[in-house]
Amino acid sequence: MNLFTAEDYDRLADQAPYGFFEDPMGTGNLYRYQNPAWEPARIGNFQDYFTAEYRDWVIGAVRYAVETEGMDIQRSPVAASGYDQVFLENPEIRSVKSREMPLPECASGDPTIQVDTVVISNVIFYGREGNASGRSSQWFRVRTYLDLLTGGVCSPEVSVYQREENPSGRRLSDELCPVIPKDQLEDEADRILAHYFPEAVKDPGKLQGEELARRLGLKLCYANLGDSGHHYGRLYFDRQNVRVFDAEGRPEVIPVMPKTILLDMELRGRSRAVTRNREDTIIHECVHYIEHACFFYFQQLHHEDLEFLASDGPVKVFHGETTPIDRVERQASQITARLRMPQEYTRRRIRECMEKYQALGQTDAMNRTIHELSQSFNVSYDTAKYRMVELGYPEARGIMNYIDGRYVDDYAAEEKDRRRYAVTLEQLEREYQRNPKLRQLAETDEYVYVGGYLVHFCPESVRLENGKYRLTSTAQMNIAKYCIGFTPVHSGKHYDYDPASFHRDHEAHPDDVCMDEHQNIDGLMKLDQAYHQTVSEHTIGFADTFTGLMELFGITISELVEDTGISDKTITNYRNGKVTPTLPYVLSICVAMGLSPQTSRNLLKAAHITFDASEGQPYEAYSFIIDYMTVDYSVCEVNEYLKKKGIQPLSMPNTK
């Protein structure tokens, strides 16, 4: 039966997803009902929500306290003596501020917040004879406690507004996420350990995710979550029927009880890496439970289908913290790292390691320290590295950079150096396409892309090791002299909060980079011409050039056959001048031999092959391969790059 009239719908259309009614038993509590006229686009922040739902109730509480109970208005500038009545004129809500009562500490067990509403109003005083004796503007504070789960509110406390020196509770954001400044994250982690796991304060090794979950009253269970959302774990506050997958990969639905952490089946293993991920995931979800219950239940008012908060898989992407879920995920990750590696204990371990390895030099000592921290705390290398940076070792930024699926050479970062010298191939390609200065630099052939670095190509900076180019120790210790610097650039895009996409799939979008324009590139060392002079002697024809390069680099036919997949007969015919090579095959040979960009161009020129990147695909991709991929990539890796571009592979190397 529909109890709402047309007038009700008109009124409800301007309100939030739920309406409220007073308890008929006279307790003063309000109870929630579903608003049939709710439209998601009308939902705003908590202040908008509270004002829309509770405005009349708040204003009524102030009127009752002042006009009926005769509350003393101590701060009124008008002489209050002698008046008989006081009335409010045009009262309005000026602001709504919320502070949290953390879920595990609430007596009710429900997410409860303290709400302070500031009301401003004109106050008119009337004397005993009924004449107005004064008028002033006055601010009032209305304090109440709101149960987000039931919608119930406590009786209000009305007072004349005065700034509090130390207001109780922690401030919440507009989305009811706790506001924790970066310099207070360490204190928050210490608070959590002291309250829930005090034995881990002096010995972090005692912190166990399963035990922390048990102390919080959380249950753990496992299911095959598949690859949807890339979640390792999910925290369910309420009972849900959850779609997962059975042992054969077929979808099924299982019931999940309230206060449950649902973990992916991949985390049941016993290897060190799996154990580390399981601990990170469980602790991450426990942090969500401690910090973000109010946030979750408020979001349910926006998005009634919201089921869980999730811990991402190995790739954590926050898109510059542009949405509420980005902020809570980053906050949970930051606190989790600090719980795993508490501040004072970790500082002491870092000092011990650095002293132990100081004879090895800065970069090696840092590398060994990161390895040892990773082992002793059972955390990832990245977590250990960035904890060192956070705890006063910014030079650790140059250690253990993971680029394109591998760790690249360490370098000695300067203490104040914020430039990113190591960049991924994808980042480099984007900058190459939009930055003409970088394209001009590639044409000079003075720089090559080696192991994540755009490095000045000369004997002092590059060495050949096991068929791959690497930075020399000289270049590692003088990275700013030999390598082009790049600064991180965020997209700056603002993503409007859309409740329907609260749990969007996270895709790996690395930060963009731009070439550091402050470097004096013209003043860097010039290219060692002796190397290319040797190569240029073999530019009469393709056969002579090809044969000369193979002899110069000591590469055999069998090695080229293995690395390129081109048959030995074809390579022999190339050497004898019997066959004219195609563009993809010449590029495949350049990549397999690790030729520099200029030498690659010489070989193409000898084969009478010319093209320009401006001709579009595939020539744009071929140009990028020559400029940045021949030196440090295999033919298989180059083919993967071409596959993403929808371009045929160069050749099919033997990968057995």
- pLDDT tens digit sequence for 382-434: 899 999 999 999 889 899 988 887 888 899 887 666 677 888 888 888 888 88
164 plus 189 within the same structural domain: no
What are the tens digits of pLDDT across the range 290-317?
999 888 888 877 776 677 777 554 334 4
270 plus 252 within the same structural domain: yes
62 plus 139 within the same structural domain: yes
Q: Residue 487, exposed/middle/buried by CB under 10 A (0-12, 13-18, 19+)? A: middle
Q: How far apart are CA 407 and CA 632, in angstroms?
A: 13
pLDDT at 141 over 90: yes
Q: Which of 66, 125, 126 is nearest to 91 (CA)?
A: 66
Q: Where are the alpha helices (DSSP H) in 445-508?
A: 473-477, 479-482
Q: How many CA atoms lie within 13 A of 434 on its CB side?
A: 9
State the pLDDT confidence band at 505, using cuts at 50, 70 and 90: very low
pLDDT at 319 over 80: no
Q: Which position has the token pair 């002697």?
A: 537
573 plus 495 within the same structural domain: no
Q: Which of 392, 376, 380, 279 is nearest to 343 (CA)?
A: 392
Tell me whether residue 187 is in a domain. yes
74 plus 108 within the same structural domain: yes
Tell me whether residue 457 is in a domain. yes
Q: Which of 384, 214, 228 is nearest to 285 (CA)?
A: 214
So what's the pLDDT on residue 655? 60
So what's the pLDDT on residue 535? 44
Is there a contact between 329 and 322 (Cβ–Cβ < 8 Å)? no
Task: Among 111, 141, 171, identify where a domain stops.
Answer: 171
pLDDT at 52 over 70: yes
Task: Among 340, 368, 395, identify where a domain stops.
Answer: 340
DSSP string, 271-282: SHHHHHHHHHHH
195 plus 153 within the same structural domain: no
Q: How far apart are CA 606 and CA 148, in angstroms?
A: 75
Mean pLDDT of 588-617: 88
| CB-CB neighbours of 623 under 10 Å | 20
Q: How far apart are CA 586 and CA 302, in angstroms?
A: 59
For strand 260-264 and strand 231-236, is the pairing parallel, antiparallel, or unpaired? antiparallel
Among the ranges given (27-31, 405-409, 462-466, 502-506), the one the predictor scored with the smallest mean pLDDT: 502-506
Among the ranges given (98-102, 184-188, 368-372), the one the predictor scored with the smallest mean pLDDT: 98-102
Q: How far apart are CA 600 and CA 629, in angstroms?
A: 11
Q: Please name the helix (run of DSSP H) or strand (run of DSSP E) that holds residue 593, with its range, or none.
A: helix 583-593
Q: Which of 439, 488, 405 is nearest to 624 (CA)?
A: 439
What is the per-residue burial (b if ≥16 Cβ within 10 Å, else e) of 342-367?
A: bbebbbebbeebbeebeeeebbebbb
pLDDT at 267 over 70: yes
538 plus 556 within the same structural domain: yes
Q: How far apart are CA 118 and CA 495, in angstroms?
A: 30
So what's the pLDDT on residue 37? 54
Name the maximum alpha-carbon separation found in the chain: 121
pLDDT at 78 over 80: no
| CB-CB neighbours of 90 under 10 Å | 7
DSSP string, 334-349: HHHHHHHS-HHHHHHH
Tokens read off for 127: 């004397």
If phi > 0 it is left, if psi is from -120 to 50 it is alpha, else beta; for residue 152 that is beta
Tell me whether residue 260 is in a domain. yes
So what's the pLDDT on residue 75? 47
Tell me whether residue 361 is in a domain. no
Tell me whether residue 403 is in a domain. no
pLDDT at 208 over 90: yes
202 plus 329 within the same structural domain: yes
Q: Which position has the token pair 């946030």?
A: 295
Q: Where are the beta strands (DSSP E) in 500-550?
A: 512-515
Domain hosting 20: range is: 6-171
State the pLDDT confidence band at 261, using cuts at 50, 70 and 90: very high
| CB-CB neighbours of 267 under 10 Å | 19
Residues 6 or more apart from 236 whose CB is under 8 A from it?
242, 256, 257, 258, 259, 260, 261, 262, 307, 308
Is there a contact between 594 and 469 (Cβ–Cβ < 8 Å)? yes
Residues 6 or more apart from 383 whose CB is under 8 A from it?
337, 340, 341, 374, 377
Task: Among 117, 148, 171, identify where a domain stops.
Answer: 171
Q: Which of 347, 267, 291, 233 is nearest to 100 (CA)?
A: 291
So what's the pLDDT on residue 393? 92
Q: How many domains does the chain have?
A: 4
So what's the pLDDT on residue 109? 60
429 plus 520 within the same structural domain: yes
Mean pLDDT of 124-131: 68
Q: How far apart are CA 404 and CA 522, in angstroms?
A: 29
3-state SS class at 239: coil
State the pLDDT confidence band at 573, using cuts at 50, 70 and 90: very high
Q: How many CA atoms lie within 13 A of 323 on its CB side?
A: 18
3-state SS class at 320: coil
Average pLDDT over the chain reads 80
So what's the pLDDT on residue 285? 94
Q: Residue 555, exposed/middle/buried by CB under 10 A (0-12, 13-18, 19+)? A: middle
Q: How far apart are CA 414 and CA 391, in angstroms?
A: 16
Query: Which of residues 635 and 321 earns the better pLDDT score?
Result: 635
Q: Where are the beta strands (DSSP E) in 102-227?
A: 112-127, 132-147, 157-160, 170-171, 219-223
191 plus 63 within the same structural domain: no
Q: How far apart are CA 248 and CA 221, in angstroms?
A: 19
Which amino acid belongs to residue 617?
Answer: Q
Is there a contact between 145 and 153 (Cβ–Cβ < 8 Å)? yes
Q: Please name the helix (run of DSSP H) or strand (run of DSSP E) that holds residue 241, with its range, or none.
A: strand 240-245
Query: Which of residues 29 and 52 earns the better pLDDT score?
Result: 52
pLDDT at 218 over 80: yes
260 plus 150 within the same structural domain: no
Residues 6 or more apart from 398 whose CB is under 8 A from it?
363, 366, 410, 411, 412, 413, 421, 479
Q: Chain centroid to CA 509: how far? A: 10
Residue 529 sits at φ, ψ, to 5 deg, of: -75, -15
Q: How far apart are CA 59 and CA 121, in angstroms?
A: 10
191 plus 254 within the same structural domain: yes
Tell me whether residue 86 is in a domain. yes
Query: Which of residues 243 and 260 earns the better pLDDT score?
Result: 260
Tell me whether residue 355 is in a domain. no
Tell me whether residue 419 is in a domain. yes
What are the tens digits of pLDDT across the range 467-481?
678 888 899 988 888
Q: How far apart are CA 384 and CA 371, in angstroms?
A: 8
So what's the pLDDT on residue 532? 44
For strand 18-22 and strand 157-160, is the pairing parallel, antiparallel, or unpaired? unpaired
Is there a contact between 261 and 233 (Cβ–Cβ < 8 Å)? yes
